[in-house]
A and B are shown apart, each in its own frame.
Chain A
Amino acid sequence: MPFQFFSSPHLHQGKGISQLMFQVIYALVPAIALYVGYFGYGVLINIALAVIAALATEALMLITRQQPLTPFLTDGSAVVTAVLLALCLPPLNSWWVPVVGTAFALIFAKHLYGGLGYNPFNPAMVGYVLLLISFPKEMTTWLPVQELAAQPLSLKESLTWVFTGTSVQGIAIDALSGATPLDYTKTQLGLGQPMAEIRTHPLFGTLGGKGWEWINMGFLLGGLWLLYKRVISWHIPFAMVGSLLTLALLFQWLDPTTHPSALLHFVSGGTLLGAFFIATDPVTAAATPRGRLLYGVGIGCLTYIIRTWGGYPDGVAFAVLLMNMAVPLIDYYTPPRVFGQNRRP
C-alpha cells in the first residue's frame, strides 16, 4: 500500500502561537483583577474597547491585504496588543482613546510592516506613545486609588463618562483625577522637595504608590508564571529589572534625598508590566540569549535615564521602542558559539 510523504520531525509539542498569546493574557488576569479592585471598572472598559477595536482593525487590514482571516484573527496577537495597551491607559478615558490607540498600533505598527512577525516595533508601545504625544491631557488624567477618591464610580457611571463625556453626579472628572505616584514624585522633586517628604503623601503605600504596588505584584506573579510555563525566557526580565535596580540603588546610595528608592522604581509605573509582558514580545525583542540580556539591560538603563532626567515620568515605552531599533544589530553581533566551533560568524 502506498503512503503519503511527510518530512521529519513527525512529532510536535502541539503549542501554537494562539496558545502562547492566550497564556500571556491569563498571566495578566491577577494584575487586572487588582487593578479593578483599586481603580474601578475603567480599566475593564478600556480593555473591552481596545480588544474590539483591535479585532475589527485586524480583520479590516487582513481583508485589505488579502490574507486569510481565521488563522490570523485567532492567533491572539492582536488581543495581546490591545490588552497591553489598555493597561497603560489612565483608568477613565473617553471611548475613542483606546480605540484610536489600538487601531493606530495595528495599522501602522503591525500591518504596514507586513503583519504578524514582521513588525520591528512593539505595536502596543507605538500606540501608547502616539496617544501620549498627541493627547497629553487625556493621557495624564489618572484616577486616584478608590480609597482616596471622594466617591468611587459604579460601572454605570464609568460607562456614562466613557461614552458621553458628561461628568458624573455633577462632579467634573478633573476633580476626581490626580497624579500617579511617579508623576507626583517627578514634579515634587522638580520643586526641590526631598524624597522623605514626598513619600509621606497619601498617594504612597508601603512599597510604592498605593494600589500600584499591588498591581505590580500582580504583574510579577503573572510574569513568574510565564517563566515557569516557559512562554518567556528569563533573560529579558532579569536584565531589565536588574539594570534598572542597579542604577536606582547606585543613585539612591549617592544621594537618597533627590533619588527615589530602588523599591519605588521596582513597583512603580511600567517596570514589571514592561519587564515581563512588553519587553518580552517575541517579534520585536532580541532573539539570541546574549542579545536578550543586552536588550534587557538597554531597556532597564534607558527607563531609569528617562524617568530621572527625561521629560516623562515613566520611560518604559520609550526605552522599549529605542531598543527595538537596536535589535537587528544586537542579534547580528550576539550569535551563540556553535557546538564544536571556536569562531563566530
Chain B
Amino acid sequence: MKKRRLWSFPGGLKLPDHKSPSTQTPIAPAALPKQLVLPLQQHIGEPAEPVVNLGERVLKGQVIATAQGYLSAPVHASSSGQVVAIDNLPIPHPSGLSAPCIVIETDGEDAWGERQPVENYRQLNPSQLRNLIRQAGIVGLGGAGFPTFIKLNPGPEPRVETLILNGAECEPYITCDDLLMRERAEEIIQGIGVIGHALHARHCLIGIEDNKPDAYRALAATATEGIEVVPLPTRYPTGGEKQLIKVLTGQEVPSNGLPIDIGVVCHNVGTAVAVHRAINLGEPLISRIVTVTGSAVARPRNLEVLLGTPIRHLLTQCDTEIDCIDRLIMGGPMMGFTLHHDAAPVIKTTNCLLAGLQEGSRQPPVMPCIRCGACGEVCPVQLLPQQLYWHARAKELDKLQDYHLFDCIECGCCDYVCPSHIPLVHYYRYAKSEIWAQEQEREKADLARQRYEFRRQRREREQQERAARQQAKKAAVAPSASKTDKQAAIQAAVERARAKRTAQKKTIDETPPSQ
C-alpha cells in the first residue's frame, strides 16, 4: 500500500467490528416483493409531491413524486406495477411515526420505463449534470440523505481542491460499502469522473479503513489518473465527514462551516455509483445495497434492494428469527436508530439492518457520573461530554451552547465508554430538541413582534401620509413658498382680503332669494 501522510483526529474508539459475518458472500439481488412502499420523504428537506394517481400503472424508473422546493428529491417507482395506495404508513424514522407513502403492487415484470443515458457527460456543463442528478433522485447514501446535487454546487467563489470519497465505513457490522467497493470499483471510478467534472475538482482521494484490504485492492487497481486510494487506520468515527477530512488533509472544517469552506467536497462511495448510473446508464436511484446482519440473522449478507422493499421481506430472506430480535436497528450500532416496526420499507438512507446485537449494550442501572473523564478522552470533537450532561440535566440551555453542544456529532463514543452507563447521547439529543423548540418559540415571538411593529409602522406611516396630504392641500391653497417672507406676507394679506371679498360675495350670492 502506498504511503501518504495522514493526520489523526482526537479521541475515537477501537471497536469490535463484527463485519466478517456479512462479507462471506457476494452482493445478491433481493427478491422482488409483492408491494413496494415508497415514502415521499427519504432525504433531508421537503417531502416530494406525488404525481401519480391511484390505480395508475407505473414503470420501473418512472417519477412518481417530484421534488418540492430546493432541498428535496424526487421519488421513482423501483419496479413496474400499479399504484394501489397513497397513504400514511410506517416509515423508518426514529420517531416511529407514519408518513405519506406511495404503495406500488408489483406485476413481476420489472419493466423499465424510458432510460436516457448521457453519451458523453464531458459535453455537459456542471449545471446540466447537477440537474440530471437531481432528477435522478440521488441523495447521499452514507446515511444522512442530503440531496447530492446541492453538494455538487460549490457556489461561484470557492474552488474545490479535493474531492473525497468516503469509503471508511467505520461503524461495526455495516459492510455495504465494503462489498460495493470490492465488486463495483469500476462504477465508483466512473462516478468519480462525473462528480469530478461537475465540481472541477483538482484531484480525488478515496479513504478506506485498513480493515477492508480487499476493497482497497479493488479500488487501487481500478483507480485512474488523479484518483488516490488511501488506506486509513481503523478507528471509529473515521467515517465522520469532518474526521475523514482531518485524517486525509490535516485540515479542520470550521465548527459552524462546511467542507467547501476549506475547498473539500465529500461524497459516499455508494453515491458515486448512483451518480454513474444516473448519468451513464440513465437509471434513477431505485435500489441500494443493504447489509442485513445481527445476532438474529442466520444468513447475514449484503443485498441489492429495491427502494420500498418492506424490511420484514428482507429479514425473512436472510433467515432471521424475528422473535429473537431484542432490537431492530437501521444503520450501525453506534449511530443507528431502532425501528418500531419491521413493516417499514427500505429507503435511500437504509445502509444496514441490524437485527439483534452480538454483544453488550448499555446495562442498567444508571449510576451517578463519577467524573472519570473517560467520555472526554474519546470525544472526537473534544467536547466535555460530562459537563454537557450536567447542564443538559439542569436544562441550562445557554450553558450547553457555551459548551458547544451543537458541535456534538452524536457519535456515541462518550456513551460507549461511560462506566456509569449514563445515556449521554440521549441527553444531548433531548437538549438539542429543547433548544430548537425554544428557538422556534422565540422565532414565533419575533415574528409576532415584527408583525406588530410592522402594523404600528404602517399606521404611523398612514397617519403621516394623511398629515402630509392635508399639509399638501393647505400648501396648495397657499401659494408657492419660493418667495421671500415679506412678499409672502403681503401676498397672504392680499389673498385674505380677496377671500373675504369673495366670501362676502358668496354669502350674498348664496343667500336664498326669499331672505
**Chain A residues at the B interface, C-beta cutoff of 8 Å:** 1-17, 19-20, 68, 71-72, 75, 77, 115-118, 233, 282-285, 287-289, 292, 331, 335-341, 345
Contact = CB atoms under 8 A, between A and B. Distances in A.
Contacts of B363: 12, 14, 16
A68 B377 CA distance: 30
B419 A17 contact: yes
Contact of B417 (A8, A13, A72, A117): A13
Given A2-B340, A11-B15, A282 B334 contact: no
Contacts of B429: 7
Contacts of B329: 8, 10
18 contacts: A5-B96, A7-B426, A8-B334, A8-B336, A8-B425, A9-B411, A9-B416, A10-B336, A11-B359, A11-B412, A14-B360, A16-B420, A282-B371, A287-B373, A335-B387, A339-B382, A340-B257, A340-B381
Nearest to A116: B368
Nearest to B339: A3
Contact of B384 (A2, A9, A115, A335): A335
Interface string B395-431: 0000000111001001110011101110101100100
Nearest to B386: A287
Pick from A7, A75, A284, A285 the residue with the most CB of B within 10 Å. A7
A334 to B, nearest CB: 10
A174 to B, nearest CB: 42
B423 A7 contact: yes
B340 A337 contact: no
Nearest to B427: A7
Nearest 4 Cβ contacts at the A-B interface: A9-B412, A117-B368, A282-B372, A340-B255
Contacts of A5: 96, 338, 340
A4 B338 contact: yes
B481 interface: no
Given A9-B335, A287-B384, 7 more contacts: A3-B328, A10-B334, A11-B333, A12-B360, A14-B363, A335-B403, A339-B10
Interface in B329-363: 329, 333-342, 354, 357, 359-363
Interface residues of B, number: 71
A72 B22 CA distance: 41
Interface string B233-249: 00000000010001000
Contacts of B339: 3
A300 B368 CA distance: 29
B172 interface: yes
A256 B336 CA distance: 63
B282 interface: no
Nearest to B369: A117
Contacts of A345: 402-404
Nearest to B337: A8
A117 B327 contact: no
Nearest to B315: A1
Contact of A3 (B15, B342, B362, B415): B342
Contacts, number: 174
A283 B371 contact: yes
B32 interface: no
B255 A338 contact: yes
A282 B380 contact: no
Pick from A1, A6, A8, A283 the residue with the most CB of B within 10 Å. A8
A340 B334 contact: no
Contact of A17 (B322, B370, B412): B370
Interface of A is mostly: loop
A338 B242 CA distance: 13
Given A16-B421, A339-B381, A287 B338 contact: no
B325 A287 contact: no
B300 interface: no
Nearest to B253: A340
B362 A12 contact: yes
B69 interface: no
Contacts of A115: 368
A159 to B, nearest CB: 35
Contacts of A6: 327, 338, 361
B362 A282 contact: no
Contacts of A341: 254-255, 404, 407
B410 A8 contact: yes
A15 B411 CA distance: 19
B324 to A, nearest CB: 11
B322 to A, nearest CB: 6
Contact of B172 (A11, A288, A340): A11
Contacts of A12: 360-363, 415-416, 421
A10 B372 contact: no
Contacts of A284: 371
Nearest to A19: B419
A338 B371 contact: no
B155 interface: no
Nearest to B420: A17
B367 interface: yes
Nearest to B423: A7
Pick from B327, B370, B376, B384 the residue with the most CB of A within 10 Å. B370
B226 interface: no
B419 A15 contact: yes
B336 to A, nearest CB: 6
B52 interface: no
Contacts of B252: 339-340
Nearest to B15: A11
B496 to A, nearest CB: 73
B377 to A, nearest CB: 7
Contacts of B512: none
A140 B175 CA distance: 65
Interface string B418-460: 0111010110010000000000000000000000000000000
B367 A11 contact: no
A288 B375 CA distance: 10
A16 B361 contact: no
B30 interface: no
A6 B328 CA distance: 9
Contacts of A282: 370-373
A341 B403 CA distance: 12
Contacts of B322: 1
B383 interface: yes
B146 interface: no
A233 B372 CA distance: 10
A161 B212 CA distance: 67
Given A6-B327, A11-B15, A17 B367 contact: yes
B219 to A, nearest CB: 28
A339 B323 CA distance: 43
Contacts of A14: 359-360, 363
Contacts of B257: 340
A11 B334 contact: yes
A117 B421 contact: no
Interface string B97-113: 00000000000000000
Contacts of A287: 371-373, 376, 384, 386
B513 interface: no
B15 to A, nearest CB: 7
A10 B327 contact: yes
Nearest to B407: A338
A16 B368 CA distance: 11
Nearest to B364: A71
A284 B370 CA distance: 9
A239 to B, nearest CB: 14
A3 to B, nearest CB: 5
Nearest to A291: B373
Contacts of B335: 8-9
Given A6-B338, A7-B425, A336 B367 contact: no
